Structure 1
Amino acid sequence: MTSGSVEAIAAALSADGLIVRGGFNFTAGDASPIGLSGALAKSALLVGQAGAAPWPHFLRWREKQPQAVANPLDTWSRQVIGAVADAFGARAVSPSDKPYLPFQQWAMRAEGLKPSPLGILMHPRYGLWHAYRGALLFEDELPIEVPQAAIHLCDACVGKPCMKACPVDAYSAEGFAYQSCLAHVRGATGEPCRSGGCLDRNACPYGTAYRYPAEVQAFHMASFAPMVG
């Protein structure tokens, strides 16, 4: 694969608001996944988004789908990334594929990022407002260099407002209190989390220009904590 091919892949993804989120070559010590033909993959390109750029493309697609389509954003991502994979001779994989692939480790390797206190990788430009939607696996090597470690903005953040905004203290040094968060979002006091997104995530001072609009955050919160009963 040439650098021109990587540029062509990036151009194809951009038609749906997606971007290449770095890549790397597997080494002899890696547990390499299988590529398109069944041979071991030699390289990976991470695919994702910065801010909510894919949202209008996703909405146009969703308008044409049955109302009951399951996991619509995952389904859309698989279709879009799968079409690009077909065009460039790659195998497309998703973070939701089972058995799960080590996407966060791949992302850290591809872009030199570290996790924030919320577990989301902190990006020096996008802050917490980015995501990985899939990866393209190739059976030849990519012409890329190992990235330098990115500036980890959390190290310079003294007040850690991301750990203080949640009314049920869902995030702490002990980790993420999933059940407490879920009960709160579904409960009588679940606003503004339900309609405006996680208060801890929104409290982060970095990457605010890329913050997801409220409707996007509400969509993700509804996926995380669908109302029952």
Structure 2
Amino acid sequence: MIFSRGTIEGIAVALAAHGLIPRGGFRFASDEAAPAGLSGAPAKCALLVGQAGAAPWPHFQRWLAGQPPQAIANPLDTWSRAVIGAVAQEFGARMVSPSDRPYLPFQQWAMRAERLKPSPLGVLMHPQYGLWHAYRGALLFEEEIFLPEPHQTIHLCDTCADKPCLKSCPVDAYSEQRFGHHACLSHVRGPRGEPCRAGGCLDRNACPYGAAYRYPPEVQAFHMAAFARL
């Protein structure tokens, strides 16, 4: 059995009610150690779910307003699991999350599904969304589903000579070779880190691509606060 194009369209409609979108998919090779599907048998296909820009934010905020104060340690992850899990149940799939332990190779899956490559910041560069997108989960199917072939894309970072994303951080946390996690975290938590806490990573905001999808300051502040608690 192969689920038709209508299955993907139905999933897209269900996700759109929460500001989420399908983010491409792929078929596991016959000799690949695929994760389990809904029944425990190896999955045949994966369909990634995520966002472009901050479209889920108002949906998430409405949900969060109905939760007891400080009752959820990771509210965005909890919301994503609930929403994507309900869609998975509706379409006979198993939902998995980037935060599941042991970790699943979500970045490799995304590169496989959408043919994207990492930016110097590690975030995958999208030809339309720039750095302003995310993956919130995946649906694993034990049956074949219709999956459009991903388009070959230009890696925008290869066309960017100035690399402003490597020149805006006050503590030079990012370089071509590494991410200075300790330096970044210390700065964000310290007295000089207020611009980062209020408006997000300065290096990420310096990237000129996908500006129309840039997260608003309150969304970036939310993510930065989550990072600073690590």
Normalising to structure 1: TM-score of the pair? 0.97
1:145 Cα deviation after fit = 4.3
Residue 28 of structure 2 is aligned to residue 26 of structure 1: yes
Gaps of at least 5 residues in structure 2 are none
8 A Cα contact 1:162 1:204, kept in partner: yes
Identify which of 180, 186, 189 aligns with 2:189.
186
In the other structure, the counterpart of 2:171 is 168
Relative to structure 2, which stretch is displaced further, 63-72 or 76-85? 63-72
Residue 143 of structure 2 is aligned to residue 140 of structure 1: yes
- Give the secondary structure class of the aligned counterpart of 2:194: coil
State the aligned residue count. 227
Alpha-carbon separation, structure 2, partners of 1:204 and 1:33? 35
RMSD value over aligned CA atoms?
A: 1.0
Alpha-carbon separation, structure 2, partners of 1:224 and 1:17? 23
Identify which of 199, 204, 210 aligns with 2:213.
210
In the other structure, the counterpart of 2:51 is 49
CA displacement 1:108-134 (0-9 Å, x = unmatched) = 010010000000000000000000000
Identify which of 129, 134, 149 aligns with 2:132.
129
Residue 83 of structure 2 is aligned to residue 80 of structure 1: yes
Alpha-carbon separation, structure 2, partners of 1:50 and 1:190? 27
Gaps of at least 5 residues in structure 1 are none
Relative to structure 2, which stretch is displaced further, 82-91 or 144-153? 144-153
- Give the secondary structure class of the aligned counterpart of 1:22: strand
CA displacement 1:79-111 (0-9 Å, x = unmatched) = 000000010100000000000000000000100
Alpha-carbon separation, structure 1, partners of 2:73 and 2:108? 27
In the other structure, the counterpart of 1:155 is 158
In the other structure, the counterpart of 1:219 is 222
Letter of the 2:215 partner, please give it.
Y
Alpha-carbon separation, structure 1, partners of 2:109 and 2:58? 27
Alpha-carbon separation, structure 1, partners of 2:191 and 2:15? 41
8 A Cα contact 1:20 1:47, kept in partner: yes
8 A Cα contact 1:185 1:193, kept in partner: yes
Residue 115 of structure 2 is aligned to residue 112 of structure 1: yes
Alpha-carbon separation, structure 2, partners of 1:220 and 1:40? 34
In the other structure, the counterpart of 1:36 is 38
- Give the secondary structure class of the aligned counterpart of 2:145: coil
Relative to structure 2, which stretch is displaced further, 166-175 or 51-60? 166-175
Alpha-carbon separation, structure 2, partners of 1:16 and 1:53? 8
Letter of the 1:49 partner, please give it.
Q
- Give the secondary structure class of the aligned counterpart of 1:95: coil
Q: Percent identical across equivalent pairs? A: 72
Relative to structure 2, which stretch is displaced further, 60-69 or 13-22? 60-69
Alpha-carbon separation, structure 2, partners of 1:75 and 1:66? 13
Alpha-carbon separation, structure 1, partners of 2:195 and 2:66? 30
Letter of the 1:90 partner, please give it.
A
Letter of the 1:83 partner, please give it.
A
In the other structure, the counterpart of 2:198 is 195
Alpha-carbon separation, structure 2, partners of 1:171 and 1:86? 40
In the other structure, the counterpart of 1:58 is 60
